[in-house]
Amino acid sequence: MPTDDDRALFMISVAAELAGVHPQTLRMYERRGLLRPQRTAKNTRRYSPRDVERLQRILRLTELGLNLAGVERVLAMEEQMSAMAAELERLHARLDAAAELMRREVERVERSHRFELVPVGRTQMIPLGRRRRRA
């Protein structure tokens, strides 16, 4: 389900104004694959707040001296890191669930042996006889 940040609200002129760039810059970024605005039925570009945030991120990176190829690379790595972080969260949740299952199983087994096993201290051991060495 799309969030409010994903709803395409802004026409190209509004998105460009929010970012402080010319609309032609947004078209160029779209051609390069840096932005992917949604399209209306009449093929008009619509930008979401998330698109505007991404645009601002692109502008910050170019202000730092990166060219568009570098920006593409950084954005791809950031997306990859986000995907990896989400996967790590899923794996942690699975690990926690498995640990809880293991803890419950250990408790169950310990409860089932409570009356069957009797702890014996070293001093209570009974010798069964001497072992003979074979020659």
End-to-end CA distance of the chain: give it in Å, rounded: 81
Give the helix ranges, DSSP H, for the chain: 12-19, 23-31, 49-63, 68-113
pLDDT at 54: 94
What is the CB-side half-sphere exposure of residue 85 using CA atoms within 13 A? 6
**Cβ pair 69, 34 in contact under 8 A:** no
Mean pLDDT of 89-112: 93
Going from the C-alpha of 74 to that of each of 35, 54, 59, the distances in angstroms are 14, 12, 12
Q: Is residue 1 predicted with pLDDT exceeding 60?
A: no
Write out pLDDT tens, residues 19-68.
999 999 999 999 999 999 999 889 899 999 999 999 999 999 999 999 99
pTM metric for this prediction: 0.65
Q: Is residue 69 predicted with pLDDT exceeding 60?
A: yes
Average pLDDT in the chain: 87
Q: Between 33 and 3, name the one with better pLDDT.
A: 33
d(CA 83, CA 75): 12
**Cβ pair 51, 9 in contact under 8 A:** no
Q: Between 132 and 87, name the one with better pLDDT.
A: 87
Q: Between 66 and 4, name the one with better pLDDT.
A: 66
Number of other residues whose CB lies within 10 A of the CB of residue 64: 10
